Amino acid sequence: MKSSFLTDALRPLALALCLFAALTAPEFAFAQASPFDTGATNLVTSLTTLATPIAVLLVMALGVAAAAGQISWGWPIGVLVGVGLVFAAQPIVTWVRGLFGA
């Protein structure tokens, strides 16, 4: 293949321009958050939004059933502990990660 003067002259210029851009603007590589973090955050937000009315209805129904003597008080207490863990999951994970220096 025959090379022309223009191609030979532009090749070092293009290389220098690419090198300059790579060295002077590394923050562009970190411009967006991780797609996994974004997706996981959206999933947690959606599930928390969905779980809130369900948790309220469960606590109400089990409280009424336990007060009426239809079920033991262990069920409502277990549900309350479970609801607490579901809605406190994010701070718990942050706390555990902090324990191990992550």
Question: Which tokens is 65 given?
Answer: 């059933």
Q: What is the pLDDT of residues 31-78, one digit of tens each?
A: 566 777 788 888 889 988 999 999 999 999 998 999 999 999 998 899
Rounded Cα gap, residues 97 and 99, in angstroms: 5
Reported pTM: 0.56
What's the burial of 76, exposed, middle or buried (CB within 10 Å: 0-12/13-18/19+)? buried
Say if residue 22's pLDDT is above 80.
no
Considering the chain, what percentage of its residues have pLDDT values greater than 90? 28
Does 6 score more than 60 pLDDT?
A: no
| Helix, strand, coil percentages for the chain (3-state, nearest 5) | 80, 0, 20
Residues 52, 83 contacting (CB under 8 angstroms): no
